[in-house]
């Protein structure tokens, strides 16, 4: 059955379908829809997850083998299938086969880009939709985007002082909900759960336009310590809050630690990145891959400890310059102390 995205949570609270098809070209909504399904499944005892990242060399018989096998401890499973496009001929046949004989101990969740009306008439799709739930996500713009921003802020216990402030934010992030979510997170870090004035939003957006904390994290992950130092100095000069800078660096450091942990347990780099709870987009994927190939697991953990040190300094729990601690994080992500001139 087709289900609007805003009805997914209520549907999951009532029952868990054996199959979910999540489709669309808006990455943040798609990722969050997947998270909702996974959390609902875990709440009903589906604690194990098998991830199938479908690329050109993917063996579709793996999915049928998973259907026919029991999990290690006999616990219900989530079969998480992620495609970069519609399934090929072999994949379509396997999915249609899967629909004919559903396992008792598994929920199948398929995520893939937008499906056209014609693609939704394919045999594999019709077979799965009859027994499951289909959710298609759409990019947001105009009034729909403003409503989404308002709800997102309310979830952080913030309230925009006026609609004009939301319009300013919408103009800055339209077409990129991931950027919108990050801007709201930044507002929360800067000001906390308060009424957010238009001036607060203008200041946050203006600062972001001049110097970008995401550029800092990218430079550090790629080992460009000199550039990272230059961006860090610019952020400090513009009055960007040190807590916002730390948030960006710590977020990617945690991802890096997770990737290194999986790699040291035999996982390939691309698969390790795909298995992170947070969806990693192409630009960040390149930077994280660079750091994962350059740094050891111990170096990644050391960097995470430096993030904790910076946090203590920012909060006044430890003496020392917080910005020097932030620079130490960048140097650590770079792999080794390097000249900063």
296: in domain: yes
Average pLDDT, rounded, for the chain: 88
Contact indicator for 47, 73 with CB cutoff of 8 Å: no
**If you ran DSSP here, which 8-state letter would residue 49 be given?**
E
Residues 170, 271 within the same domain:
no
Residues 175, 221 within the same domain:
no
Question: Across the strands, what pairs with 134?
Answer: 2, 21
Last residue of a domain, one of 107, 136, 165: 136
Write out pLDDT tens, residues 121-155: 999 999 999 999 999 999 888 889 999 999 999 99
Contact indicator for 112, 83 with CB cutoff of 8 Å: yes
- Count CA within 13 A, CB hemisphere, residue 97: 14
220: in domain: yes
Contact indicator for 159, 188 with CB cutoff of 8 Å: no
Last residue of a domain, one of 209, 224, 241: 209
Write out pLDDT tens, residues 64-102: 998 887 655 567 999 999 998 999 999 999 999 999 999
Residues 110, 176 within the same domain:
no
Residues 131, 55 within the same domain:
yes
Domain of residue 278: give its range. 213-334
Contact indicator for 63, 33 with CB cutoff of 8 Å: no
Last residue of a domain, one of 91, 114, 136: 136
pTM here?
A: 0.65
Contact indicator for 172, 183 with CB cutoff of 8 Å: yes
Residues 16, 51 within the same domain:
yes
199 has a pLDDT exceeding 80 = yes
């Amino acid at each position: 059955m087709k289900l609007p995205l805003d009805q997914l949570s209520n549907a999951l609270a009532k029952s868990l379908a054996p199959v979910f098809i999540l489709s669309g070209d808006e990455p943040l909504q798609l990722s969050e829809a997947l998270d909702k399904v996974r959390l609902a499944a875990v709440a009903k005892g589906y604690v194990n997850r098998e991830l199938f990242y479908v690329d050109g060399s993917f063996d579709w018989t793996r999915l049928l083998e998973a259907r026919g096998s029991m999990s290690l401890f006999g616990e219900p499973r989530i079969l998480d299938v992620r495609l970069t496009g519609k399934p090929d001929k072999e994949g379509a046949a396997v999915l249609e086969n899967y629909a004919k004989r559903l396992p008792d101990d598994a929920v199948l969740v398929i995520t893939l880009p937008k499906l056209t009306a014609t693609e939704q008439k394919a045999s594999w799709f019709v077979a799965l939709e009859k027994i499951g739930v289909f959710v298609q996500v759409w990019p947001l713009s105009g009034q729909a985007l403003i409503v989404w921003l308002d709800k997102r802020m309310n979830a952080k216990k913030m309230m925009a002082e006026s609609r004009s402030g939301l319009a300013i934010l919408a103009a800055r992030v339209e077409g990129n909900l991931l950027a919108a979510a990050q801007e709201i997170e930044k507002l929360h870090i800067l000001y906390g759960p308060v009424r957010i004035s238009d001036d607060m939003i203008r200041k946050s957006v203006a600062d972001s336009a001049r110097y970008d904390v995401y550029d800092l994290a990218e430079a550090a992950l790629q080992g460009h310590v000199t550039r990272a130092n230059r961006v860090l100095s610019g952020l400090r000069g513009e009055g960007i809050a040190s807590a916002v800078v730390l948030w960006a660096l710590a977020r990617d450091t945690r991802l890096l630690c997770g990737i290194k942990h999986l790699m040291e347990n035999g996982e390939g780099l691309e698969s390790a990145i795909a298995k992170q709870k947070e969806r990693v987009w192409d630009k960040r994927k390149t930077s994280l891959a660079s750091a994962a190939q350059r740094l050891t697991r111990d170096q990644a953990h050391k960097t995470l400890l430096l993030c904790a040190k910076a946090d203590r300094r920012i909060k006044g729990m430890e003496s020392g310059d917080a910005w020097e601690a932030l620079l130490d994080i960048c140097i650590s992500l770079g792999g080794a102390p390097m000249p900063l001139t």
